[in-house]
Amino acid sequence: MEEGIDDNNSPWSRRMIDGRTVNTSQWATPDEGALTGDRRVLYLARKRAVSLYLSGASAESIRRLTSLGAKQVYRLIRERCLQPHPDGRPFGWRGLVPWLRVTPYRRSRKVHVDQFGRGAAGAMQALLDCQPALRQAFEARILASASAKRLVETKQSRRRHCAWFLDQLRSFGYEARNDWPFSTASLGYSSICRYIDKVLSANPRALAASTGGPNLALKLKTGDGACRPVLRFMQRVEMDARKLDGRFCVSLPLMGGGFREKIVHRLWVVVIIEVVSRAVLGYYFSVRREVSKDDVLRALKRALGRWCLRPVSFCDTPYLPEAGLLSALGNDFVGLCWDETSVDGALAETCQHVRDALRDSVGSALLDPKTYWTRRHRSPNDEARMTARSSRRFSAIWPDRDFSVYPTPLAASLRTAGAGSRRRLPSRADSSTSMPKSCWTCLSLTTTRHRTAALATARRSRTRSSCISIRSKPCAEPTRLS
């Protein structure tokens, strides 16, 4: 251990910042993998310097290890890390990202645009601060929803918003005085568009309505999870199916030589992600035209089983060193169960078969959105449209890496979260306990063709009317899928 550095695992700091101690365990972390080059090097140096400073290291040790002074580190903590974020929490480690603005810029001088078009930074914000009534009316116009009783335009373009805004400024005399934005060649078009995007980003429902109309806004009834906070590891997982945009051609070798090409029109991936750690528990690739309940159950089975490396022949290094999913970290992470499963309302994820499997095998409750489609009887046409047009998105950001490539250093943070105390399914490798058949019965994928009857009435003619009864034969024996 370096001299002057105290080996302390407590999340509370040993030094006081503004007369109080700091708990770094609640600090939010940015996407460190997205930082590259000098920006990543400077961020890691700042993060290590802050950790050393809060643990009580001396100024000489901090400067020798990070090239940062103690006063500079103190200012980083006080002026950046402890500042409130728009999400309600402190910036935390996010405040150490270089060239990230923590507090919004406020212009204090009068706007004067030079001959090159420069000198108008913060002019839009300063103008709206002087005209609070105009700000309120402009935001109400941007967030206005289309009327359901009148035939009106559902999506208004930015040019129309800009034209309305400029007309309001003309009525206030800005054009006569040649004030901003009339002192620029573009009439402040870029600044007004950025403000429109900012207002829409703060209101997801209005953004969805302006992008895809009322139908896309109805899909946001799932909520943002504000009333259902996640407090511990493996409390809730997110399960969703995403369609990969592309068509694939597979060459199948034949017995007599040669190859036969097979076109895969759609490739779906069903992924189960833990909410707190963002760890991928399991996934399954499906080549069906639409995701079915069998694909969902296969993904659940892989999330509860042990993950192992798959033989890959298309490249030399298909996996990163020590790559693997959560179950590859050890026996304590195999068969971990969770309490809640959050889905987006797709029929394959909310059917009764999947609900029973989650309740009986995992002990999890299914959290599905209560939308208009779930409150009324669905016809086959409704199910087809809902499946084809369902929103396939996660609430949080997907990791920008392969699902089977997850770094092993995550094991340290997960073990501290109490993975050993979580309930899990007994494994077949356990010598002390035998594998109960009931645990895997619900996840053993059996496909049966149920007897169905459909009555189709033929077109009525003047002479007769007929009806046709269509029945499908059941399978002789259920087929067990691996």
> How far is it, in rounded angstroms, from Cα 273 to Cα 237?
5
Instruction: Assess whether 287 and 199 both reside in one domain.
Output: no
Instruction: Assess whether 214 and 241 both reside in one domain.
Output: no
- Predicted local confidence at residue 214, as pLDDT: 73
In terms of DSSP H, where are the helices of 2-80? 37-54, 59-66, 70-76
Q: Is residue 466 part of a domain?
A: no
Instruction: Assess whether 243 and 333 both reside in one domain.
Output: yes
Q: Is residue 18 part of a domain?
A: no
Please tell me whether residue 79 adopts helix, strand or coil conformation.
helix
Burial category of 464 from C-beta neighbours within 10 Å (exposed 0-12, middle 13-18, buried 19 and up): exposed
The answer to whether the CB of 75 falls within 8 A of the CB of 35 is no
Instruction: Assess whether 181 and 273 both reside in one domain.
Output: no
Place of tokens 């790559």: 323
Q: Is residue 164 part of a domain?
A: yes
Instruction: Assess whether 81 and 202 both reside in one domain.
Output: no
- Predicted local confidence at residue 422, as pLDDT: 60
Instruction: Assess whether 371 and 304 both reside in one domain.
Output: yes
Instruction: Assess whether 316 and 234 both reside in one domain.
Output: yes
Instruction: Assess whether 177 and 194 both reside in one domain.
Output: yes
End-of-domain residue from the set 205, 221, 237: 221
- Predicted local confidence at residue 21, as pLDDT: 86
Q: Is residue 7 part of a domain?
A: no
Average pLDDT of each block of 10 consecutive residues along the chain (482 residues)?
A: 49 79 89 90 95 92 93 93 90 93 86 85 91 93 76 78 94 92 91 92 82 73 60 88 84 89 87 89 89 92 88 80 83 89 86 91 83 39 45 37 40 45 55 40 36 31 32 38 36
- Predicted local confidence at residue 372, as pLDDT: 33
> How far is it, in rounded angstroms, from Cα 40 to Cα 45?
9
- Predicted local confidence at residue 227, as pLDDT: 58
Instruction: Assess whether 148 and 267 both reside in one domain.
Output: no
Q: Is residue 103 part of a domain?
A: no
- Predicted local confidence at residue 171, as pLDDT: 94
Q: What is the DSSP string of 344-370?
A: ---HHHHSHHHHHHIIIII--EEE---
Q: Is residue 114 part of a domain?
A: no
Instruction: Assess whether 56 and 90 both reside in one domain.
Output: yes
Domain count, the chain: 3
- Predicted local confidence at residue 228, as pLDDT: 63
The pTM score is 0.45
Q: Is residue 190 part of a domain?
A: yes
End-of-domain residue from the set 221, 253, 271: 221
- Written as six digits, the tokens of 407 are 């770094």
Instruction: Assess whether 282 and 414 both reside in one domain.
Output: yes
Q: Is residue 104 part of a domain?
A: no
Burial category of 318 from C-beta neighbours within 10 Å (exposed 0-12, middle 13-18, buried 19 and up): middle
Q: Which domain holds residue 354?
A: 229-447
Asked whether the CA dihedral 208, 212, 213, 215 is positive or negative, the reply is negative
End-of-domain residue from the set 221, 245, 271: 221
